[in-house]
Amino acid sequence: MKLLQDLRRLFYPETCPNCRQQLLQNEKIICTFCRHDLPLTNFKSFTKNKVTAVFYGRIPIEKAFALLFLRKKGITKNLIHQLKYHGVEEIGIFFGDWLGEILSENQEFSSIDFIIPVPIHAKKKKRRGYNQLTKFGLCLQQHLKIPFVEGVLVRRSASATQTLKSRFERFNDLHTKFAIVNLALFKNKHVLIIDDVITTGATLEACALELLKTPGIKISILTMAYTE
């Protein structure tokens, strides 16, 4: 098996999606130099941090966390862009494994019953070929031993890409409609909504408002990155 892996690396070398340098044998998905350059949030609290502050007075959140800061220019933005628009789904695996290890150790999300992704519209998923959160969520499921559920929360309207909107427009973009296919599934459950990036929180708020129609539900949020 190792011989086959070595041969594959020889003829099809794996490269870092950020710096494009060839990965060394002990490196996975992202090179060591780029990993060390990632701007970690290092939030000490899961109940009071910059992510939870986004939702103060808007929706009730049990806990929230983001792994990295996202800036206008930098490695985080580049990696998320590669994940969303260039099919490098391995980046979702990288972040899922990293966050999964952190959360399995500190047990902050041990009361979670389901992990659900922010859905993308069926037309966009068909065009892109994937939801950038699927492999991320599956990795979290593996580490946390919590079911990852797709297709229960769905997006009913396709919106223009968020990158073309101003921050104010994104903040007020609550017209995007979401729907729960199985309302009974989340009754009296604690649900973890996952997304790639949080900026204004408008999309996550819209998802949460739909989920909050379920009796007794509790909501927490986890993202790969938080926009400074």
One digit per residue, the tens of pLDDT, for the chain of length 228 reads 444 444 444 445 789 988 988 888 888 889 999 999 999 999 999 999 999 999 999 999 999 999 999 998 899 999 999 999 999 999 999 999 999 999 999 999 999 999 999 998 888 888 888 899 999 999 999 999 999 999 999 988 655 454 444 444 444 444 558 889 888 999 999 999 999 999 999 999 999 999 999 999 999 999 999 998
Kindly report the pTM of this predicted structure.
Answer: 0.86
CB burial of residue 220 (10 Å; 0-12, 13-18, 19+): buried
Q: Which residue's structure tokens are 């990036």? A: 197
pLDDT of residue 176: 58
How many other C-beta atoms can be found within 10 angstroms of the C-beta atom of residue 9? 14
Is residue 115 within 8 A of residue 194, CB to CB? The reply is yes
pLDDT of residue 159: 52
Closest CA to 72 of 170, 163, 203, 168: 163
pLDDT of residue 139: 97
The angle formed by the CA atoms of residues 69, 219 and 88, to the nearest 5 degrees, is 45
175-199: string of b/e by CB count within 10 Å (b at 16+)? ebebebeeeebbeebbbbbbbbbbb
| Beta pairing partners, 69 | 226
pLDDT of residue 3: 45
- Report how far apart, in Å, the C-alpha atoms of 45 and of each of 64, 201, 204, 206 are: 9, 19, 20, 24
Query: 190-198 and 114-117: which strand pairing?
Result: parallel
pLDDT of residue 40: 97
pLDDT of residue 12: 55
How many other C-beta atoms can be found within 10 angstroms of the C-beta atom of residue 139? 21
Q: Taken in order 203, 77, 225, 93, is the CA torsion positive or negative?
A: positive
